[in-house]
Amino acid sequence: MTLAARTWGRMSLTARLTAILLPLAVLLAVGTVVGIVFILPPTMDFLGANMPLVRFVVAVVGILVLTIPTAFVLIYMELKVIARMNLRVGPNRIGPWGAAMSLFHGFKVLSKEDFAPTGADLTVFTLAPVVTFLASVMTLLVIPFAPGIFGQDLNIGVLYFFAMGGLAVLGLLMAGWASFNKYSLLGGLRSAAQIVSYEIPLTISVVGVVLLAGTMSMNGIVLSQSGSALDWFAFKQPLAVLIFFIAATAEANRTPFDMTEADSEIVAGFATEYSGMRFGFFFFAEYVNVFIISALLVTLFFGGWTAPINWPWPYNLNWLDAAGIGILWIPIALVALVVATDILGAAIWLIGGREWSAPSAFGLGLLIAGAGVTAAVGLACFIAFDWVQGIFWFFAKTYVFVFTFVWMRGTLPRVRVDQLMGFAWKWLLPASLLNLFVTAAAIIILNQPVIPR
Amino acid sequence: MTGIWYVLGLAAAGVGFVFLVIGLAWVLSHRNRGDGDKGLPYESGIDTVGDTWGRFGVSFYIYALLFVAFDVEVVFLFLWAIVFRSLLLGGLVSMGTFVLVLMLGLAYAWRKGVLTWR
Amino acid sequence: MPIGQTLPFTAVRWDDVLFVVLAIMLLGSALLVVTMRDIIRCGLAMIASFASLAGIYVLLGNPLLAATQVLVYIGAISILVLFAIMLTQTKNAPTRLVFQTQAWIGAVAAVVIAAIIAGTVLTTTWPSTGAVAWTATSDIATMLFGQYVLPFEVVSVLLTAAVVGGVLLARREPPADKEDRS
């Protein structure tokens, strides 16, 4: 036994912890100082000189990260909303009202065995969820969330969207083929044929919007709908909205078009042999797809991030800056929080008498004051910044449609597979072409000038 | 020109993300490769019969073929839509002819009954 | 210190770096298409080469063509090819692909074509554009529906012919037993 080992053996638990943690703390402190003095300024200079690079990294990481809470919220919504529609309670154990349910679903999928059947083509089997996930994430690049907040404003935005979205078919076919299972292959082929058939009316219904806006850029389309709700393309293209909604439901494999997961016919379709995280990514992509098609519906037909009424906001809150406050509103809000907590807590304690102990009185005061200050700051931001408003309106509208998709799943039965294809080619396609040419004729007759952008 | 960097960067980051998570799951999850029967394809509990990668109905193929034709049309439609305000009646006539000719093909397929699922 | 327009310590532009990477991917996946045995993997490698080509189109200043490449070639034609393979391929495929018996003739033809292309490239005097010429999408559209409206209409005839031919070939025989019963 060495000296060090003997010393270690004689030390108490507290002493051991101190022996480990104290040097770590010193190291951390020194490191922080060194970091602030020597590393921070050149890093800030570097980032400041490379704003395009910073924007690139932030946009890419932001889009990827956005998908995770989106999927969690959608999974929870689906569980809870459908449960309520079925007169059930739904998840109610994990977290408040079961809200952490989908998070734990994620952990469950992560810890499950990721198994591939013996006969499977392993490379293609693994790449299939990657392609499916990419197909949905890549489309998020062109969606404008708020003025100035978007991945990239491509001038062929709409075309890019459908080009990338079309890759989903590839993922389905790869999954169906690689699984070495007749149900998988049949499910993959069937859903590929379905998506391919509904993609045509989907895209043609969007051409009407491009006709009206005169541009394929998503930002341009949103800007040409600015004004009030009456300027939204939904009111100029009602038929296109209907066709788009139906076809988008089929594209995302949602009820009533979820032939892919017709468990009474082909087990779980292309995903039959998938398990663990590789299955998890199909699941993930499906929920992100619901969000994306709702977002696209909002962007193209319901004004994107524009407000439904024509209001004079954003006000420039000059009085904040005029008083020389600027960034200082953060400490001011904190001071306001403390003062309000004290006043409220004292009031509750004095009025409440014996039933309220001091901690519970001040705790309630903190709750009320916190809610008040948060609401005030949120409202101020909402009034002051157009991008806060944009994000609010965009997500509010998008989640209305997300709710509608969940609602449809709770309500409608599945269509028959023989009716499915005929409906796309015999009804939706002619209807979308009719909509297109009526729009074109209307533009000629009314001879609208080009919408200024 | 920055667009291509964004597109490729997002694609690379997405692929990296997926493989990272799948790798994490591979580390976290338990694995049991001992059972030989486990690797059999799941076809509702019945032993698989015949070739998996066999021949399927050709009706799928017709939908893909129609899709190719109409997908090309869609690209032209988008191009036509962005300049329509400078074309007006001439544009309507030329695109109308184009779509009409294509619809002849669809009508033929319809008439021959290949659009009906069998 | 901002990151410049070029790869550090060299005069190579970042876009050229991307071009080289994409070109290597294009050639590599194209080689895989003709060398791999599993025909479905050949199809997937073909898709990868289409995607790399789309990236090169963007670098050459025509994002519209790139989007069309992805939409039509990857999204539609590759799907058609994969459908065709999946609908006909059996597990017991020949281990040696049939056309490999013509490998020598193919190699000679490839070398001859490469020589012709190289000769053409070297003898042509290329106009120096300096920078990459960006093609505006609306310019393409204006030309297509103005100057080249007749070829555009012919395309529709071509597509219709393809649809009609495919339907004719793939159409099932009318069910004979139904007529027998009547």
Determine the pLDDT at residue A420.
Answer: 81
**Average pLDDT rounded to a whole number, residues A75-88:** 90
**Average pLDDT rounded to a whole number, residues A191-208:** 90
Contact by Cβ (8 Å): A287, A253 = no
User: Both B113 and B68 in a single domain?
Assistant: yes
Determine the pLDDT at residue C177.
Answer: 44
**Average pLDDT rounded to a whole number, residues B42-55:** 62
Which token pair is A118? 């013996």
- Give the integer Cα–Cα distance in Å for C182 and C179: 5
Which of B18, B29, B117 is closest, CB to CB, to A418?
Answer: B117
- Domain boundary residue among A384, A408, A438? A384
B73 touches chain C (CB under 8 A): yes
Residue A322 pLDDT exceeds 50: no
User: Both B60 and B27 in a single domain?
Assistant: no
Dihedral angle computed from the Cα positions of residues A157, A163, A169 and A175, in that order, rounded to the nearest 10 degrees? -90
Chain A residues close to B43, C-beta within 8 Å: 181-183, 267
- Give the integer Cα–Cα distance in Å for C137 and C62: 8
Residue B35 pLDDT exceeds 90: no
User: Both B61 and B108 in a single domain?
Assistant: yes
User: Both A142 and A262 in a single domain?
Assistant: yes
Residue A240 lies in a domain: yes
Query: How many Cβ atoms from other residues are within 10 Å of residue C150's Cβ?
Result: 8
* A182 residue type, one letter: K
Determine the pLDDT at residue A295.
Answer: 93
Q: Which of C40, C89, C167 to mutate to test the interface with A (most CBs of A within 10 A)?
A: C40
Q: Which of C53, C74, C91 to mutate to test the interface with A (most CBs of A within 10 A)?
A: C74
Domain locations in chain C as residue ranges: 1-94, 136-182
- Give the integer Cα–Cα distance in Å for A235 and A209: 11
DSSP conformation class of A384: H
Per the DSSP assignment, residues forming a β-bridge with C6 are: C13
- Give the integer Cα–Cα distance in Å for C167 and C161: 10
Determine the pLDDT at residue C49.
Answer: 93
Residue A397 lies in a domain: no
Q: Is C172 left (phi over 0), alpha (psi -120 to 50) or beta?
A: beta
Residues 72-101 of B with CB under 8 A from A: 74-75, 77-78, 81-82, 84-85, 88-89, 91-92, 95-96, 99
Q: Which of A167, A190, A429 to mutate to test the interface with C (most CBs of C within 10 A)?
A: A167
Give buried/exposed letters for A99-113 (b at 16+ CB in 10 A, else e): eebbbebbeebbebe
User: Both B60 and B116 in a single domain?
Assistant: yes
Chain C residues close to B5, C-beta within 8 Å: 18
Determine the pLDDT at residue C86.
Answer: 77
B16 touches chain A (CB under 8 A): no
Determine the pLDDT at residue A305.
Answer: 86
Which of A53, A163, A174 is closest, CB to CB, to C67?
Answer: A163
Chain A residues close to B66, C-beta within 8 Å: 197, 425
Contact flag C166-B72 (C-beta cutoff 8 Å): no
Contact flag A109-B89 (C-beta cutoff 8 Å): no
Weakest mean pLDDT among A129-143, A279-293, A391-405, A407-421: A407-421
- Give the integer Cα–Cα distance in Å for A303 and A226: 7
In chain A, which residue's Cα lies nearest the Cα of B23? A277
Which of B60, B72, B106 is closest, CB to CB, to C83?
Answer: B60
- Give the integer Cα–Cα distance in Å for A14 and A16: 5
Weakest mean pLDDT among A36-50, A51-65, A123-137: A36-50
**Average pLDDT rounded to a whole number, residues A376-400:** 84
Weakest mean pLDDT among B38-47, C27-36, C70-79: B38-47
User: Both A198 and A293 in a single domain?
Assistant: yes
What is the residue whose two structure tokens read 């009034």?
A: A383
User: Both A137 and A174 in a single domain?
Assistant: yes
**Average pLDDT rounded to a whole number, residues A213-237:** 86
Determine the pLDDT at residue B51.
Answer: 61
Chain A residues close to C67, C-beta within 8 Å: 156, 159-160, 163
Q: Confidence class of residue C10 from pLDDT cuts 50, 70 and 90?
A: confident
In total, how many domains does chain B have? 2
B106 touches chain A (CB under 8 A): yes
- Give the integer Cα–Cα distance in Å for B77 and B88: 14
Which token pair is A282? 């199909």
Q: Confidence class of residue C182 from pLDDT cuts 50, 70 and 90?
A: very low
Chain B residues close to C63, C-beta within 8 Å: 3-4
Residue B62 lies in a domain: yes
Residue C43 pLDDT exceeds 90: no
Chain A residues close to B88, C-beta within 8 Å: 443-444, 447
Which of B71, B87, B102 is closest, CB to CB, to C160?
Answer: B102
B98 touches chain C (CB under 8 A): yes
Kindly tell me the sign of the dihedral angle through the C-alpha atoms of B42, B44, B45, B48: negative
B45 touches chain A (CB under 8 A): no
**Average pLDDT rounded to a whole number, residues A445-452:** 62
Contact flag B39-A204 (C-beta cutoff 8 Å): no
Contact flag A52-B2 (C-beta cutoff 8 Å): yes
In chain A, which residue's Cα lies nearest the Cα of C84? A189
More confident residue, A45 or A284: A284
- Give the integer Cα–Cα distance in Å for A137 and A67: 8
Kindly tell me the sign of the dihedral angle through the C-alpha atoms of A363, A368, A369, A375: positive
User: Both B61 and B117 in a single domain?
Assistant: yes
Query: How many Cβ atoms from other residues are within 10 Å of residue C63's Cβ?
Result: 24
Query: How many Cβ atoms from other residues are within 10 Å of residue B71's Cβ?
Result: 25
User: Both B66 and B113 in a single domain?
Assistant: yes
User: Both A152 and A226 in a single domain?
Assistant: yes
- Domain boundary residue among A96, A111, A126? A111
Which token pair is A410? 């709770």
User: Both A188 and A295 in a single domain?
Assistant: yes
Chain B residues close to A151, C-beta within 8 Å: 6, 10
Which token pair is A103? 């998070």
Which of A203, A267, A433 is closest, CB to CB, to B99?
Answer: A433
Mean residue pLDDT across chain A: 83
Which of C55, C160, C172 is closest, CB to CB, to B104?
Answer: C160
Q: What is the pTM of this model?
A: 0.84
The pLDDT > 70 percentage for chain A reads: 92
Query: Which chains have 3+ CB pairs within 8 A of A?
Result: B, C
- Closest by alpha carbon to C40, among C74, C69, C83, C75? C83
> Residue B104: helix, strand or coil by DSSP?
helix
User: Both A41 and A68 in a single domain?
Assistant: yes
Determine the pLDDT at residue A369.
Answer: 85
Annotation: CATH topology of C1-94:
Four Helix Bundle (Hemerythrin (Met), subunit A) (1.20.120)
Determine the pLDDT at residue C181.
Answer: 38
More confident residue, B40 or C107: C107
Which token pair is C41? 């993997």
More confident residue, A438 or A96: A438
Chain A residues close to C57, C-beta within 8 Å: none
More confident residue, C37 or C176: C37
User: Both A367 and A219 in a single domain?
Assistant: no
Model confidence over C113-129: pLDDT tens digits? 999 999 998 888 777 66
User: Both A162 and A251 in a single domain?
Assistant: yes
Domain containing residue B71: 56-118
Judged on CB neighbours under 10 Å (0-12, 13-18, 19+), A53 is middle
User: Both A338 and A372 in a single domain?
Assistant: yes
Weakest mean pLDDT among A25-29, A123-127, A262-266, A407-411: A262-266
User: Both B116 and B81 in a single domain?
Assistant: yes
N-term to C-term CA, chain A = 81
- DSSP letters, A3-68, are HHHHHHHHS-HHHHHHHHHHHHHHHHHHHHHHIIIIIHHHHHHHHHHTHHHHHHHHHHHHHHHHHH
User: Both A423 and A374 in a single domain?
Assistant: no
User: Both A157 and A294 in a single domain?
Assistant: yes
Model confidence over A111-144: pLDDT tens digits? 888 777 777 778 888 899 999 999 999 999 999 9
What is the residue whose two structure tokens read 């591939």?
A: A116
Domain containing residue A131: 115-306+418-446
User: Both B75 and B24 in a single domain?
Assistant: no
Determine the pLDDT at residue A200.
Answer: 92
Contact flag B32-A417 (C-beta cutoff 8 Å): no
Contact flag C67-A185 (C-beta cutoff 8 Å): no
A155 touches chain C (CB under 8 A): yes
DSSP conformation class of A412: P
Which token pair is A129? 């969820």
Q: Which of C36, C38, C50, C70 to mutate to test the interface with A (most CBs of A within 10 A)?
A: C70
**Average pLDDT rounded to a whole number, residues C150-177:** 78
In chain A, which residue's Cα lies nearest the Cα of B99? A433
Which of A50, A53, A166 is closest, CB to CB, to C75?
Answer: A166
Residue A263 pLDDT exceeds 70: no
User: Both B114 and B69 in a single domain?
Assistant: yes
Chain C residues close to A196, C-beta within 8 Å: 76, 79
Q: Confidence class of residue A8 from pLDDT cuts 50, 70 and 90?
A: confident
- Closest by alpha carbon to B6, among C3, A70, A130, A137? A137
User: Both A153 and A275 in a single domain?
Assistant: yes
Residue A308 pLDDT exceeds 60: yes
In total, how many domains does chain A have? 3
Contact by Cβ (8 Å): C71, A168 = no
More confident residue, A362 or B103: B103
Q: Confidence class of residue C180 from pLDDT cuts 50, 70 and 90?
A: very low
Weakest mean pLDDT among B48-62, B96-110, C44-58: B48-62
Kindly tell me the sign of the dihedral angle through the C-alpha atoms of A44, A49, A53, A55: positive
Tally the C-alpha atoms within 13 A of residue C115's C-alpha that lie toward its C-beta. Answer: 6
Determine the pLDDT at residue B14.
Answer: 92
**Any long-range contacts for B46-49 (C-beta under 8 Å, 24+ apart)?**
B48/A181, B48/A182
Residue A174 lies in a domain: yes
Residue C97 pLDDT exceeds 60: no
Residues 133-172 of C with CB under 8 A from B: 137-138, 140-142, 144-145, 149, 152-153, 155-157, 159-164, 166-167, 170-172
